[in-house]
Structure 1
Amino acid sequence: MTSILTNVAAMAALSTLRSIESGLEQTQAAVSSGLRVGSASDNAAYWSIATTMRSDNMALSAVEDALGLGAAKVDTAYSGMNSAIEVVKEIKAKLTAATEDGVDKTKIQEEITQLQDQLTSIAEAASFSGENWLQAKLTGGLASDINKSVVASFVRDSSGAVSVKKVDYTLTASNVLFDTNGNTGILDQTTNIAGDGVVVNVNDGGVTTSHNLNSYTTAQVSAAVTGAGGAFDAGGSIAWTVAGDGLGAGVGYVMIGSDTWVAATEQSALANATQEVFATDASTFEWQINTADTAASTAMSVDSFTITNTTTKTELAGLLSMVDTALKSMTSAAAQLGSIGMRIDMQQEFVASLTDSIDKGVGRLVDADLNEESTRLKALQTQQQLAVQSLSIANSSSQNILTLFR
């Protein structure tokens, strides 16, 4: 049946053309954007997953930047610690040289002072973006002063909850060189350095008490006494810095053992029975302890100790032990920083690999196969041409009716 009011063939051809053009539009969008799923209307599930994972990837990109910043902080601290270790090695070598007989210890101290100043300079300069891990407020500090961390990863668990994981590093007395509010750092903590001392029992008002006193050799006493114009009898057991009968003579020395002397202040006989005194069989006088000489050990720290030509071998041995202990702590701290640096490097590689994996996964969901899309585009273009031709034929059929009226 042919009708000029209802052209069924034209309607069918038009419907086909519309369908082809709709497919052609989608294919052209896929070819131009490279996405098979470019909007939620294309595939809601895939689009939702891809959008979420893209946002996670952006967070991972921020984590990667944070890891780079953390690596810079750790590298700065490690470089400073390593440089400080080399300086402390030099100090140790200088102290070793000072134990040699006849060496001018004051000259060695001049070098040590410069090395000590260098340690301070290193600790102050080892800062990155305002963060200094070699000196901190350990004493009386806040948690933010000592608890450091580096962002390590962004995690989404099976329930969909997200969190940021960190690598923690706590500043303590075992890994910080200087305490800016006290003396608990590796280099500024004090250590008691024993001198050449002896324990002397002293009669104090009838009560015997023990005191740690510095000890002196006969040669040292002789030099001190005769240098001050006093009298010294090598065979005696009492010497004082001013010649006389001993009364009011000032600082003196009493022999308490073979080649062992201690310093005391001379007092008249039984001047004060409550004073701390010790008696010697060689004299009727009592001798009050010289309070300036009652410390047989001295508190010292690596960053501030001083040696002189009067520094004894015992004291030098103590200083060497103190420096070596500090060196061990610094070596351990450097190893800890190195381990954290290695972990950060590994985490950076993992985050980069994870980012690539997520990109691949998203691509599998929403990316278009351009080989397939280009083939489909060519086919749809051909179908479009055929549909247009078919519509043209259908529209021309009504014109053929006119020939029937001629």
Structure 2
Amino acid sequence: MASINTNVSAMTALQSLNSTIKMLDQTQSRVSTGFRVASAEDNAAYWSIATTMRSDNGALSTVKDALGLGAATIDVAYTGMNSAIEAVKSIKNKLVAARQPGVDREKIQSEVIELQKQLKSIGDSSVFSGENWLSVDSSSASYNPTQSIVSSFSRSGNSISIGTIGFDVGSSKLYDAADQSGILDSTDVTTNGGVTYSVDTLDISTLTDSSDDLEDLEQMISWTDGALGKMTTAAASLGAVKQRVSLQQDFVSTLMDTIKKGIGTLVDADMNEESTKLQALQVQQQLGVQSLSIANQNSQNILSLFKS
């Protein structure tokens, strides 16, 4: 039936054109943004997962920064410890040389004093971002014998956990301003002379070749060697923590990349598919406009029936 009130063909053509335009707008949005799921209305479940994963990845980025800061702090402490070990080795060598009867121990002591000053300088200057693991003050309110480095961020359901890598500064400190309990400032007392000394303060300038003084000197050598052993153990611990932090940095970087890939799988648009679809929809839009135009002309054809 031909009707001038209801143009069924035009209505059908318009519905088809509107549907094509809607799909075209969606495809153009995907092409321009690069996202298949750009908002919750596109796919609420995928958008929610992707948003949470992006948030967690941001937290991992902060963990990566913290690991970098921790690695730098460890590097400074490790470098300082190695330098201190070399200085203590030199002090030990000087003391062994002073054991030889007849040597000028006063001159040897002048060299030892310079090495002691160097040790103190190493301890005080091994600082990074306000952190000094070699020269501490255990009486300070902010002092913590176990230093921790943020190393991981994980989520289980709605709960999150922060992982850390700890290092025992208490066993590796060279100086402690509070109670002289560091490796280099902890004290001993000579058996015969009753002199209190540490690696940092020992003085052999007044020692003679008497058996008692030589025995005290050997005691100092043994004490210095013991300090050297503790420093070597501390350096090994620092090296182990340094390696672990490095491995954790690599893992966090890889994990962040993997999460990004997962997010991309959920929400990224396939640009090859979308570009092909865009061209097809543009053709459909042109055909829809033409079809609607033809449908609208059908009503005009009815006028020819009334011509005389």
Query: Could you say which TM-score interval applies, normalised by the shorter chain?
Result: over 0.9
**Aligned equivalents of 2:222, 2:285: Cα separation in 1:** 93
Shift of 1:160: 2.3
For residue 160 of structure 1, what is the aligned residue in structure 2?
Answer: 158
1:100 matches 2:91? no
Q: Flag the structure with larger Rg.
A: 1
Aligned ranges 1:3-402 → 2 under 5 Å: 3-138=3-138, 140-142=139-141, 144-157=143-156, 159-172=157-170, 174-195=171-192, 296-308=193-205, 310-311=207-208, 312-402=213-303
Rounded to whole Å, the distance in 2 between the matches of 1:12 and 1:308 is 110
SS in 1 for 2:196: strand
CA shift for structure 1 position 391: 0.3
**Which ranges in structure 2 are unaligned for 5 or more consecutive residues?**
none
Deviation track 1:259-283 (CA, whole Å, cap 9, x = no partner) reads: xxxxxxxxxxxxxxxxxxxxxxxxx
Q: How many residues align?
A: 303
8 Å contact kept, 1:104–1:309: no
Higher normalized helix content (fraction of residues): 2
- The CA deviation string for residues 226-252 of structure 1, in whole angstroms up to 9 with x for no partner, is xxxxxxxxxxxxxxxxxxxxxxxxxxx
Matched residues in 2 for 1:98 and 1:336: separation? 32
Calculate percent identity across the aligned residue pairs.
Answer: 54
Q: Distance in 2 between matches of 1:310 and 1:336?
A: 37
Distance apart, 1:403 and its partner CA? 1.7
CA distance in 1, matches of 2:81, 2:133: 9
Task: Tell me, in whole angstroms, the C-alpha distance in 1 between the residues paired with 2:182 and 2:254.
Answer: 40
What is the CA–CA distance in structure 2 between the aligned matches of 1:368 and 1:354, rounded to whole Å? 22
Larger fraction in strand: 1
In 1, are the aligned partners of 2:207 and 2:214 still within 8 Å (CA)? no
CA deviation profile, 1:207-241 (whole Å, cap 9, x unmatched): xxxxxxxxxxxxxxxxxxxxxxxxxxxxxxxxxxx
For residue 377 of structure 1, what is the amino acid of its counterpart? L
User: Which residue number in structure 2 is paired with residue 228 of structure 1?
Assistant: none
Aligned-residue offset at 1:367: 0.5
Q: Which amino acid aligns with 2:52?
A: T
Matching residue's letter, 1:335: A
DSSP-derived class of the 1:164 partner: strand
DSSP-derived class of the 1:194 partner:
coil
Aligned residue type for 2:42: D
Gaps of 5+ in 1: 196-295
Q: Is the 8 A contact 2:116 2:201 kept in 1?
A: yes
Q: Which amino acid aligns with 2:188?
A: T
- 2: CA distance between counterparts of 1:144 and 1:404? 102
Report runs of 4+ in structure 1 exceeding 6 Å deviation: none
Partner amino acid, structure 2, of 1:193 = T
Q: What is the distance in 2 between the residues matched to 1:194 and 1:332?
A: 27
Once residues 66 and 56 of structure 1 are traced to their aligned partners in structure 2, the CA distance between those partners, rounded to angstroms, is 15
Shift of 1:141: 4.7
Tell me the residue number matched to 1:244. Answer: none
1:92-149 alpha-carbon deviations (Å, 9 max, x no partner): 11111111222100000000000001111000000111110001123x4547442311
Letter in 1 for 2:169: L
Q: In 1, distance between residues paired with 2:94 and 2:163? A: 46
| 8 A contact 1:186–1:326 mirrored in 2 | yes
1 CA distance for matches of 2:294 and 2:71? 73
Q: For 2:77 and 2:33, locate their aligned partners in 1 and report how far apart those are by CA, in whole Å.
A: 47
- For residues 335-389 of structure 1, give each alpha carbon's deviation from its aligned partner in whole angstroms, at most 9, with x where no partner exists: 1111111111011000000000100001101111111111111111111111111
